[in-house]
Amino acid sequence: TVGSAVRASYASGGVGTLYSGSASWPSLSPDASRVAYAVSENNTWRIYVVPTDGTSGPVFVTNGTYPSWGPNGLIAYQDCPDGQCGLYAINPDNTADRRRLTTSAGDLNPQWSPDGNEVVYVTNFTGAWEIFTISMSGQFRQLTSAGGEKSGPVFSPNGAQIAFALLESLAPESRE
């Protein structure tokens, strides 16, 4: 099994280990003082937050995967609490402040726009893996359609563009 720890690099050039178990999807807070990440514990994905300076240990925030810290201080993530699957946004400093953004189990990999007003994500809601956005006011936009599976969408620093990976089906090579 391959494990992955959560580490922080410091201005002094040193590297500190913040969590030594197997963790996924690290995401820095807007001020880089904390990192959110997900860990699989007893067949449940859990999201933790830990200070990057190592002054204290990890704090449990919520169950879920794909944590993404936005410029507004909220963490977007995917979860299925009580069968209510979708993307959610949570305030890690007040976990009662949580809102559901989308309603499909196939909504994954949320990433915030630079202004914190939109989340871009990949979903198989339409039957194929496509890129959508959801605004904080609840407006959906489908950005891609037809052809290949999309993944890993991210906004450009100015929010004007979105980059993503595309896996296209290729015809087998001729062996004649």
First CA to last CA distance, the chain: 41
CB 12 within 8 A of CB 56: no
Q: Residues of the chain with pLDDT > 70: what percent?
A: 83
pLDDT value, residue 122: 96
pLDDT value, residue 139: 96
Which pTM does this prediction carry? 0.85
Element (H, E) at 131: strand 130-135
Average pLDDT of span 45-60: 90
From the list 28, 69, 74, the residue with the least C-alpha distance to 51 is 28
Element (H, E) at 62: strand 59-63
pLDDT value, residue 14: 47
pLDDT value, residue 175: 42
Give the Å distances, CA to CA, from 123 to 23, 131, 135, 153: 23, 6, 15, 11
